[in-house]
Chain A
């Protein structure tokens, strides 16, 4: 009942336990290697954007640079500041890493979805999905994990016993709580379109060719582009990646929450940050781009699942790095305005519009009238919001209110 995976629905014997263990080890190793490569990839691509060489000494193309850095971190002195709150200071990096690992457990990273297959593969005589867990609540688990990820950053800043980290903590908590709402609402749109919360179900709903036989049936198109754009922006803010990295903001807050950290504890923050980038790319791919679904060109179908998944994920990781090296950091008021006055109303309005269309399709309403009414209500809402924002700005400028 905890899982939609056919592996766990039958009798659970030793082989099943071993397969689950194997999947745990495989996901763990994949995540670590992917994080290591992501750090290298980001440094390399950013240095290309900035017209310099980047890491090039350790291994071919400097690919082992992260490994070398990691080993170096292990041998650095571990400092705990005098005014730090010791127990929380030690706990905080672990609170950052654990949700980062748990987030990936629900991501389908492979499987045969071509030609109407449902993505299950044969593993040692058992049928299973290529994902660690497929709980019925699926994607809500991801939201839960990303909402508790804020604790690591917040507590690290607070427990450091110093000013800049504390400012970073306050920023982190405000930012993450603000953008969670937009994130959740755009996930709602996907759930509404696919009709399931399970990540495997979401991928199955997007598999196969949709319109015209060659345009894929991705939620990117099926849910309209708006939820995708909102999710992409909100996920960058949740990850504290540039241009929304006000939590770290080296120039203002000297790195903020990790200022006082050194050695392996700093490395844990660093790893968690990049691991979250990898996982968020994987979740975007799952929600909007059909995850591992794709045509099998030649050879076994399950292999193509993994290849499509990795290709799509890498494209998004490149996009993240591209955005980082192109856009300057937003101001704090811009960040809050974008979250509360643009993304949340936009995703909420779009969700209502999508729901209306689904009801209209069920009840066979007149399509033209539905679209026209939806547009009128949407525009009215937009006008009201605009009016309210303009009024509040005018009143603030007049000095009537603080």
Chain B
């Protein structure tokens, strides 16, 4: 049963990942990313890490990808893109090689660890003690052993928020950032993006 769930969700994760890199439309890519994140949440559930699964859905699927989509819709970059030209020459060849390298490494691990081929040894993300609930273990660890990293992370996030506020509220006397060329006010029409040449 565990193996079946693993295979199905792994397939969803892989298909979503392929969709992210091969979609011509950025919104389709974001949708594929959602599928991947959901697959990973199911993998977490399969390993008994219920809290991580839910946090995965709430934080990544429910907030971060929503914001990615929000920005894409707000800025109007949701048009189809040309996948034929490479932004960096030789990028794809290199990516393929590195991918093969990783595949080789994973295969080597599987061949060396013969006994547990599919999911490997039991995950470290699972429950440490079966009697105490997952969430209280995580909470206890976070607020005792790892309290310093936790507080430092909180400080980092606060700095990021303050920085975002400062950057977004520029003083008026600075020169305004010019409008991107694709956003042009066309008289009485609402602000729309002009179609780029050669699109569609």
B87 interface residue, CB < 8 Å from A? no
- Quote the shortest CB–CB distance from B22 to chain A (angstroms): 15
Flag if B172 contacts A147 (CB, 8 Å). Answer: no
Docked Cα-Cα span, A399 to B172, in Å, equals 7
A143 interface residue, CB < 8 Å from B? yes
A173 interface residue, CB < 8 Å from B? yes
Segment at the B interface, from A133-141, A289-297, A363-371 = A133-141
For chain A, the bracket of interface size reads: 20 to 34
Q: Which of A1, A155, A180, A401 contacts B169 (CB 8 A)?
A: A401
Flag if A177 contacts B58 (CB, 8 Å). Answer: no
Segment at the B interface, from A60-68, A162-170, A322-330 = A162-170
A38 interface residue, CB < 8 Å from B? no
- Quote the shortest CB–CB distance from B135 to chain A (angstroms): 6
Contact residues in B for A148 (Cβ distance below 8 Å): 57, 61-62
Segment at the A interface, from B9-17, B66-74, B90-98, B103-111 = B66-74
Q: Given the interface contacts A88-B31, A137-B135, A141-B54, does A180 sit within 8 Å of B62 by beta carbon?
A: yes
Flag if B172 contacts A177 (CB, 8 Å). Answer: no
Q: Given the interface contacts A136-B133, A163-B190, does A400 sit within 8 Å of B171 by beta carbon?
A: yes
Flag if A1 contacts B58 (CB, 8 Å). Answer: no
Contact residues in A for B66 (Cβ distance below 8 Å): 147, 150-151, 154, 173, 176-177
Flag if A147 contacts B57 (CB, 8 Å). Answer: yes
Interface 0/1 of B42-74, CB less than 8 Å to A: 000100101101110110011100110110011
Docked Cα-Cα span, A401 to B171, in Å, equals 4
A144 interface residue, CB < 8 Å from B? yes
Q: Given the interface contacts A144-B54, A401-B169, does A173 sit within 8 Å of B48 by beta carbon?
A: no
Contact residues in A for B134 (Cβ distance below 8 Å): 136
B34 interface residue, CB < 8 Å from A? yes
Flag if A1 contacts B48 (CB, 8 Å). Answer: yes
Q: Is the interface of A mostly helix, strand, loop or mixed?
A: helix
The number of residues on chain B lying at the interface, defined by a beta carbon within 8 Å of a beta carbon of chain A, is 34
A362 interface residue, CB < 8 Å from B? no
Interface 0/1 of B4-39, CB less than 8 Å to A: 000000000000000000000101100100100000
Docked Cα-Cα span, A147 to B61, in Å, equals 8
Q: Which residue of A has the minimal Cβ distance to B130? A: A1
Q: Which of A135, A140, A166, A184 contacts B73 (CB 8 A)?
A: A166
Q: Which of B50, B58, B61, B192 contacts A136 (CB 8 A)?
A: B50
B170 interface residue, CB < 8 Å from A? yes
Flag if A402 contacts B170 (CB, 8 Å). Answer: yes
Contact residues in A for B63 (Cβ distance below 8 Å): 147, 177, 180
A246 interface residue, CB < 8 Å from B? no
Docked Cα-Cα span, A88 to B73, in Å, equals 14
Q: Which of B25, B58, B78, B190 contacts A143 (CB 8 A)?
A: B58
A350 interface residue, CB < 8 Å from B? no
Contact residues in B for A113 (Cβ distance below 8 Å): none
Interface 0/1 of B111-134, CB less than 8 Å to A: 000000000000000000010011
Flag if A140 contacts B171 (CB, 8 Å). Answer: no
Q: Which residue of A has the minimal Cβ distance to B63? A: A177
Flag if A140 contacts B170 (CB, 8 Å). Answer: no
Q: Which of B54, B70, B130 contacts A140 (CB 8 A)?
A: B54
Docked Cα-Cα span, A74 to B61, in Å, equals 32
- Quote the shortest CB–CB distance from B56 to chain A (angstroms): 9
- Quote the shortest CB–CB distance from B107 to chain A (angstroms): 32
Flag if B135 contacts A158 (CB, 8 Å). Answer: no
Which B residues fall within an 8 A CB radius of A? 25, 27-28, 31, 34, 45, 48, 50-51, 53-55, 57-58, 61-63, 66-67, 69-70, 73-74, 78, 130, 133-135, 169-172, 190, 192
Residue contacts A-B, CB under 8 angstroms, 14 given: A85-B27, A136-B133, A137-B54, A147-B62, A148-B61, A150-B62, A150-B66, A151-B66, A154-B69, A155-B27, A163-B190, A166-B73, A170-B74, A401-B172
Query: 5 closest Cβ contacts across the A-B interface?
Result: A147-B62, A144-B57, A173-B70, A140-B54, A401-B169
Which A residues fall within an 8 A CB radius of B? 1-2, 85, 88, 135-137, 140-141, 143-144, 147-148, 150-151, 154-155, 158, 163, 166, 169-170, 173-174, 176-177, 180, 184, 197, 392, 399-402
Taking A144-B61, A158-B78 as known contacts, 8 extra A-B pairs with beta carbons closer than 8 A to each other, sorted by chain A number, are A135-B50, A136-B134, A143-B54, A143-B58, A144-B62, A148-B62, A177-B63, A401-B170
